Structure 1
Amino acid sequence: MLWENSRDGTKRMDPQRWFQRAIAAGNLLYVLSYRQSQHIPRPLGQPKTIQQWVHDRIQSSDLSFSERLTGHRLLDFGCGPALCGMITTPERFTDIVMADIAPSNLDTIKRWMDGEEINFNWDQILRLTAELAGAKSVSEWTERKISHLKTSVKKLVTCDVTEKLPLGPDYAEAFDVVFTSFCIGCAAKSIAEYKQFLENISSLLKTGGHLLIRGALNASAYTVDNKMFHHLSLSTSDVKDALCSAQFEVLEYKSEYFPIAMPHCEATEYGVFVLLARKI
């Protein structure tokens, strides 16, 4: 159970299960905020403070977009029902499309954009991101970010990474930047498919456009609420070779390993990576 009953009869989230679920879902921002508040031992190779570790990546290409990125049209591919990929999008991106295979996920985002209540409050994530980004006024930063998202997200569309044109012919070579987070490894059943799916995503980018990927390493499966889901076990060389095969040049690559054994995985460390590549 993700939720447990407290002594006063109310329900509260079981923090350990919440932490495990966040890792399984690849929500690093949630994981790191939880680690910071609970003083959980640091991942291997992690700097002294969680605050500095996340801040460094906000300044590079982990939770934010590198200064190398140009243009104004951006695609969040496989966005799920989440805003975490777009919260730190530079405001120069004024034409954003969010895409997911599940219409229900897109409906959740639409309801948030329309001001309706949804079953997740993004305020805490926005505040944390503002603080880590060094905002002088957290409230002003948050208000500006919400306004930017609600005016810049122009369309919510369905996508299918297994198709050669994942968004259909209207979006061929349409974007300056494609961002995808923990998506391709969940869909691909083999390295060959992983390469093909990267080629499919490449069709959405202009020549010289940038691809920003977050993903998992050494994970062959993950569980959410006791349900097991497939993930293709990948190494750093697998990822880089696949990108080369799909005619991408890797510009930046960073990875981090957590000494946590994921369920149904032989590896004793669960890795995450973020990379920036250019279509050639």
Structure 2
Amino acid sequence: MDPSSYKHYHEHGFDSRKYLEDYFSDKEDMVIGDDSLLFPLENLTKNFTLGHIKGDILIDFSAGPLVHHLYAACEFFKHIIVLKINDQCIMEMKRWLDSRTGAFDWGHATKLHGQLEGKSDELQDKEGKVRSVIPHVMKCDLNKENMTDPIVLPPADCIISWGILDVACKDQDDYIRYLRKFSSLLKPGGHLMLIGAFGTTYYTVGKDRLRAFTYDEEFARKALVGEGFVIDVFKTKERTNVSDLIDYKAVIFISAHKEK
């Protein structure tokens, strides 16, 4: 397929339910589970349970209507504000938050997180806790100076961003500009956790192939430092699965803090 024909998340969005089914479900042919579920949850759980990343407000700005990564964070923040670019992701997210019929079943991820925490007997309580700390799912626009205009968000203690830089950025300038926006939402000393993938040129959702921003470790490190972040953790996991859904080379987990 000609790369010039690829769609773009920031302009076209995607089928949010199909995205969850293909990349984050427990179906037998979902071969990238170690990279999309286990690796990120392991690192998020480990870093939050250390106890130094906590506070009043966490902002989650991730690609698609993801929920499972918030299991690790919900015990350490009073409020989690979720930002989404497109309406379909907002509706899918609210369907789960309201426990509506037809909501995506995150039970497999809840169980995995419970195993990582050593608290497999508290699975139902964990989902309830996540729901209780999310007061808002808000639409945002990366092109605006204030992404949530006219609402001004309070400074956050932490931001989690899963994949949004990979799918929303068109080039290096975008990546740096969006990091700067993240920094503006954080308190001095606040933490930024990024989950993404190196070497990706495309990803597939249903019949659509969408383009991704291609970058490497050297660029990510320089961009973060250049925007005033101190990198605390930088982990990569080389790809071992075989799937033509997406062509990434490695998944990454980064935890950094904003210099005071």
TM-score between the two structures when normalised by the length of structure 2: 0.79
1:279 aligns with 2:258: yes
Secondary structure of 1:189's partner? coil
Structure 2 CA distance, aligned partners of 1:101 and 1:65? 30
Change (3 A) 1:118 1:226: same
Do 2:96 and 2:103's aligned partners in 1 also have CA atoms closer than 8 Å? Answer: no
1:199 aligns with 2:180: yes
Offset at 1:164? 2.8
- Counterpart in the other structure of 1:81: 65
CA distance in 2 between counterparts of 1:54 and 1:173 reads 27
- Within a 5 Å distance, the mapping from 1:246-265 to structure 2 comes to 246-259=227-240
Q: Distance in 2 between matches of 1:100 and 1:185?
A: 15
The Cα shift of 1:163 comes to: 2.8
- Of 110, 121, 124, 1:126 maps to 110
Of 30, 33, 46 in structure 2, the residue corresponding to residue 60 of structure 1 is 46
Going from structure 1 to structure 2, the CA distance change for 1:30 and 1:235 (only over 3 Å counts) comes to farther
Quote the offset at 1:248 in angstroms.
Answer: 1.0
Q: Considering Cα pairs closer than 8 Å and 6+ residues apart, tell me whether 1 or 2 has the greater RCO.
A: 2
Q: Is the 8 A contact 2:224 2:230 kept in 1?
A: yes
1:199-238 CA deviation, whole Å, 9 max, x = no partner? 0111111111100000110111112224211111110011
Would the aligned equivalents of 1:165 and 1:203 in 2 still touch at CA under 8 Å? Answer: no
Q: Deviations over 1:7-59 (max 9, x none)?
A: xxxxxxxxxx999942xxxx4x869995699xxxx99xxxxxx98x7785354
Structure 1: stretches of 5+ with no match in the other structure:
1-16, 44-49
Cα–Cα, structure 1 residues 93 and 223, in superposed 2: closer, same or farther, change >3 Å?
A: same
Mark the CA change 1:143 to 1:241 in structure 2 (over 3 Å): closer, same or farther: same
Displacement of 1:93 in angstroms is 1.0
Instruction: Assess, with a 3 A threshold, how the Cα gap between structure 1 residues 99 and 54 changes in structure 2: closer, same or farther.
Output: closer
Distance 1:20 1:105 in 2: 14
1:111 to partner: Cα distance: 2.4
Contact 2:201–2:214 (8 Å) recurs in 1: yes
CA distance in 2, matches of 1:255, 1:87: 21
Alignment partner for residue 218 of structure 2, among 216, 219, 237?
237
In structure 1, distance between residues paired with 2:49 and 2:193: 8
Instruction: State whether structure 2 residue 163 is matched by structure 1 residue 177.
Output: no
The alpha-carbon distance between structure 1 residues 55 and 150, as it changes in their structure 2 partners (threshold 3 A), is closer
Structure-2 separation of matches of 1:153 and 1:219: 31
- In 2, the alpha carbon distance for the partners of 1:36 and 1:261 equals 8
CA distance in 2, matches of 1:248, 1:87: 25
Contact 1:97–1:155 under 8 Å retained in 2: yes
Q: Would the alpha carbon gap of residues 59 and 19 (structure 1) be closer, same or farther in structure 2, given more than 3 Å must change? A: closer
Q: Give the total of aligned pairs.
A: 241
Contact 1:72 1:94 in 2 (8 A): yes
Give SS of 1:153's match.
Answer: coil
Q: Are residue 221 (structure 1) and residue 205 (structure 2) matched?
A: no
Q: Which has the larger radius of gyration?
A: 1
Structure 2: gaps of 5 or more residues: 1-17
Deviation of 1:258 after TM superposition, in Å, equals 0.6
Q: How does 1:149-168 map to 2 (within 5 A)?
A: 149-168=130-149
Match of 2:56, as an amino acid? H
Q: Partners in 1 of 2:84 and 2:55 — Cα distance?
A: 22
Q: 1:75–1:98: 8 Å Cα contact kept in structure 2?
A: yes
Could you tell me how far apart the structure 2 residues matched to 1:260 and 1:150 are?
33
